[in-house]
Structure 1
Amino acid sequence: MAETVGQFLKVKFAELRAENPQISLRSFAAMVGISAGRMNELVHDKRALSDFYAEKIVKALKLNLQEKRKLYSLISTKARKVNSIRVLADNEGLHVRCWENLAILNIMRTDDFEPDMNWIAKRLGISLSRVQECFKILQDHDLVKISEDGGMERTSSRVVAKTTGATSHHERRKLEKSMEAMETIAPPFRNHSSVTVATTPEKIKEANEKIKEFRRKLAEFLEDGPKKEVYSLTINLFPLTEIRTTDSESTNE
């Protein structure tokens, strides 16, 4: 029974080589979706296993339940603290939640990600200077780390930022990107649809909670399996009629 991450990976690597003697550690790393250097560190127990890398290994190697439990038990306590859900403070969210920053954090999770700013700029269709500016922001908020050899790593498995009045301009920019996609992306690769209903404002609070739950479940569905592109899901619920307030509501205000 493997007692370290390196031992676990060496066993899985040996199983793959038994089926295909030509497989190398580099191709093993490519199969998992991480750099050869990072795989070498994990195999030789020179780097602690994080949730981020464990997730990639589980999905790429299609581990069974027993193997999953074993691998997850090897995630270091320190790594768990680093790779937990990061909830941004209001002032942090104001600087981080622009679409470019969020896209960079997620493109780092794609299967063919290359830790190269020129590659990122090309994939996102933005300038190299903008990518560099975004990485400066993400590093300042301790959301990414860049090693001396150029490796890039997220420090949190999930980033949550509250939407406030101060961040509304970032939401507008996302809507602008949505409008661009409507004109440039073929329908099979996007979805722009809406429904108009008659309801009462008293149901909106509960509707917002249902939207949050829907977003969470859809995100889990989309992120399960291969990751080739980065998508943005934008849902808008707003009144088409002018909101009327009762006399009591006006008085309370």
Structure 2
Amino acid sequence: MLRKYLLQEFERRTHANPKYSLRAFARDLEIHSGTLSSILNERRAVGSKVLAHIMKKLPLSAMEKKRLFSEIITPPSNEAEVAPPLMLDEDVLSIIQDWEHYAILAYLQLRKAKHAPGDIAKALGLQQAKVLRALSNLENVNLIERQGHNFKVTQKSLATSRGIPSPALREAHLQYIDKAKSALSEFSVEERDITGRTMVVSSKNLPKAKELIRQFRHDLSELLEQGEADDVYRLNIQLFPLTHKSPLENLK
């Protein structure tokens, strides 16, 4: 997890300043550049003193710091090692930008799911032609593989870059917002939870707010995945300004 947080923070800083280097990042973290390189390349174990020092320099919530420290210093002994998420580049995202690709990936992980295209179409409310196209796309980008008459998901955890404009992600978000609108009339209040809050904010706290949202997504996912999965859900969290202070730029 430390490597993930370091890479995310380095990506955020290079997006703000394209000339920002790994050496500059090490300088700002107040550690040797060789130490940082070894951590990022997973060639060095991180001790408690180094971890505590680095955590002070990263914009982490108290909960993130607690989890990071417990997982690195006292890693769980009985749990299988979890593979890191696969980072999807823009070429792959452009192929699987439609919402049904992600829904099918999740559906195929249900233990009792029927894998025939007609069954997938019925479960997700799709036309069979769309399912066939999506399955072909997912197979072409190696996110699923055939095993007889069934499909196996090759990577359960996926990730995308943060803070970088992506036309494919923007299209996916638009489609999911439309799905959320439809859910208001298609599902009962027992099956859905769509709420909102309008507030005044201090803009300087937005980075911290985004981190809290990211942590909430992670925690909620862990909660809902406990036990045997029997359904596919989508979580949308929308935080956006209602006041316009400048023209639209760098749409993401």
Partner residue, 2:86:
86
| Pair member with larger Rg | 1
Partner residue, 2:127:
127
Q: In 2, Cα distance between the equivalents of 1:141 and 1:101? A: 11
Higher helix proportion, which one? 1
Residue from 210, 214, 217 that aligns with 1:215: 217
Q: In 1, Cα distance between the equivalents of 2:230 and 2:205? A: 38
**Secondary structure in 1 matching 2:242:** coil
Gaps of 5+ in 2: 1-76, 248-252
**Does 2:199 match 1:200?**
no
Deviation at 1:116, TM superposition (A): 1.1
**Length, aligned pairs only:** 168
Partner residue, 1:184:
186
TM (norm. structure 2) is 0.62
Deviation at 1:207, TM superposition (A): 0.8
The percentage of aligned residue pairs carrying the same residue is 23
Q: In 2, Cα distance between the equivalents of 1:176 and 1:199? A: 27
Q: In 2, Cα distance between the equivalents of 1:185 and 1:98? A: 22
* CA-to-aligned-CA distance 1:16-65 (integer Å, 9 cap, x gap): xxxxxxxxxxxxxxxxxxxxxxxxxxxxxxxxxxxxxxxxxxxxxxxxxx
Deviation at 1:244, TM superposition (A): 6.1
Output aligned runs, 1:47-58, within 5 Å: none
Q: CA RMSD in A?
A: 2.1
Partner residue, 2:155:
156
Partner residue, 2:53:
none
Q: In 2, Cα distance between the equivalents of 1:225 and 1:98? A: 29
CA 1:203–1:243 in structure 2 vs 1: closer, same or farther (change >3 Å)? farther
Question: Which structure has the higher relative contact order (CA within 8 Å, separation 6+)?
Answer: 2
Q: In 2, Cα distance between the equivalents of 1:209 and 1:135? A: 33
**Secondary structure in 2 matching 1:235:** coil
Output aligned runs, 1:99-138, within 5 Å: 99-138=99-138
Q: In 2, Cα distance between the equivalents of 1:194 and 1:243? A: 22
- Deviating above 6 A after TM superposition, structure 1's stretches of 4 or more consecutive aligned residues are none
Alpha carbons 2:115, 2:150 under 8 Å: kept: yes
Deviation at 1:181, TM superposition (A): 0.4
